[in-house]
Amino acid sequence: MLSKAKIKLIQSLEQKKKRREEHLFVAEGPKVVGDLMPIFTCRLIVATTTWLKKHSQIKAIETIEVTHEELCKASFLKTPQEVLAIFKLPHPTLPANIAEKELCLALDDIQDPGNLGTIIRIADWFGIKHLICSIGTVDAFNPKTVQASMGAVARVNVYYTNLQEYLANLRTENAQVPIYGTFLEGNNIYKEPLSTNGIIVMGNEGNGISLLTQQFITHRLFIPNYPEGSLTSESLNVAIATAITCSEFRRR
């Protein structure tokens, strides 16, 4: 039986403050929980009898068998999916000089949890293992972000740092790392030379890349519409723009 105290704990983890205090986050559904189980320490599994019978070898500090109705009381989803889990929050350390060796993504104040989750999923698809976020970017372990990532948050390392300071350190005399950004007035991405390492910066949903961050961009890219120059939507959703940009980098 799922106690009121457990439901209160689960529901409290919707708040970033509580996730930080408890060092815990919530994941839901067989796919997401299944992907996270081998990577993160599981504090609690709340699941239906059917799910538990199929996963008798699960490793969790505590397991609670519940009915669908009980799961509904704790779930953040409109339609709960058999299992909910609480995991210990990771605290990854951003590796030094990683952008000199690999292609990385950086996010400048992304606000929507769904967008961030989708971008994490895109990074996972294109083999980008490091996602560097500004302090103002939404939390990667928000329940909506975790859900939208569809388990990819288990395979992509997400870091939070002062983005301007981080980019400034990449532009020293000894480390001329390419820093790309997407702009409406940039150069056609399909005609520009692209590297296999460096940083791709994606900006805020409404304002794009901030002026403070723009000063560190070395290559300004633009995704042209079709036919080029025709009357069309003002801009692309940031997650869609990320997918197109990552695809073109990997295509090369």
pLDDT digits (tens, 9 = 90+) for 183-206: 989 999 999 999 999 999 999 999
Q: Percent of the chain at pLDDT above 70?
A: 99
Q: Which two tokens stand for residue 196?
A: 């296999």
Give the chain's domains with CATH numbers.
4-88 (3.30.1330.30), 98-251 (3.40.1280.10)
pLDDT digits (tens, 9 = 90+) for 88-111: 999 999 998 899 999 999 999 999
Residue of 85, 95, 166, 158 lying closest to 123 (CA atoms): 158
pLDDT digits (tens, 9 = 90+) for 208-234: 999 999 999 999 999 999 887 777 787
- pLDDT number for residue 175: 65
Q: How far apart, in whole angstroms, are the C-alpha atoms of residue 241 and residue 27?
A: 27
Please give the model's pTM, rounded to 2 decimal places: 0.93
Residue with tokens 């928000």: 142
Residue with tokens 């983890």: 13
pLDDT digits (tens, 9 = 90+) for 58-84: 889 999 999 999 999 999 999 999 999
Phi-psi region of 56 (alpha: psi -120 to 50; beta: other; left: phi over 0): alpha
Q: Which two tokens stand for residue 178?
A: 């390419």
With contact defined as beta carbons under 8 Å apart, do 186 and 221 qualify? yes
Q: How far apart, in whole angstroms, are the C-alpha atoms of residue 188 and residue 235?
A: 15
